[in-house]
Amino acid sequence: MNTEELVALCPLFRGILPDELHALLHCLSAKEFFPKKGGFILASPGTQPLIGVVLEGSVQMISEDSFGKRSLITILSKGSIFGESYSCMKERNRSIAYQANEASRILILDYGRILHACKLVCRFHHRMIENMVELIALKNLELVEKLEVISCATIREKLLTYLGREAQRAGTNHFTIPMSRTALAEYLCVDRSAMTRELAHMREEGLLRFDKRQFVLLQ
């Protein structure tokens, strides 16, 4: 697909007609970026506030504390936006970064032009802002879900809560998670080796089956 076809599928641009979309992308100084797996995006925002839209692939939102400990906050899938919360802050938090979870295709937009519609595109510009507010609300719900997961007392409780949510999201007890074992340990804020042992115990007890990223919840 070409850029405009992919963009039209994104929730951020829902309700915007193709001819309007072309003008809007020009107004927002849209540029494409093709990071490889592990590549950083908007890692060190400068004076110009920018946001990203995941057209293909997926992106990790990560943080790092003053001691260098890394934490995975969430995985942003196709159609997600990122960077909006920190672009609108006067003092931007550089401890937050975005890293390609796989080879991806990213659209970079000028956040300042999103907030301040020009006269040429205001008719559909406001529709995009409404879409963005909805996406921010959905992301906040995802972050609340993560808080509930990491608030669990044990590694087993964290795993069961997270995997249960993934099964519910997939609509089946046989599903694929969007992250590796290392990323999952970072997301749950647990030691990877301890998590791997707990998964093995849970499999032995007949609670689940798994093969790499594929899981089956049995109870």
| 7-57 tens-digit pLDDT | 989 999 998 888 888 888 888 889 999 999 999 997 554 556 789 999 999
Average pLDDT, the chain: 87
Do the bridges between strand 70-76 and strand 105-110 make them parallel or antiparallel, or are there none, so unpaired?
unpaired
At 1 the pLDDT is 79
State the pLDDT at residue 77.
92
Q: In whole angstroms, give the CA distance from residue 19 to residue 192.
A: 49
- Are 106 and 33 in contact by the 8 Å Cβ rule? The answer is yes
pLDDT band at 167 (very low <50, low <70, confident <90, very high): very high
Q: What is the pLDDT of residue 207?
A: 96
202 phi, psi to nearest 5 deg: -65, -35
Residues 6+ apart with CB under 8 A from 138: none
**Of 146, 148, 159, nearest to 198 (Cα)?**
159
pLDDT in tens, 45-81: 455 678 999 999 999 999 877 777 788 999 999 999 9
Instruction: Kindly report the pTM of this predicted structure.
Output: 0.82
Say whether pLDDT at 142 is over 60. Answer: yes
Residue 113: count other Cβ atoms within 10 Å of its Cβ: 17
Q: Which of 100, 103, 117 is nearest to 61 (CA)?
A: 100
Please tell me the predicted confidence (pLDDT) of residue 54.
96
Residue with tokens 């409404």: 130
- Kindly report, residue by residue over 96-118, the tens digit of the pLDDT: 889 999 999 999 998 888 877 66
Contact present, 71 and 62 (Cβ < 8 Å): yes
In degrees, rounded to 5, the angle at the alpha carbon of residue 138 between the alpha carbons of residues 64 and 127 is 115
CA distances, 151 to each of 86, 144, 146 (Å): 25, 11, 8
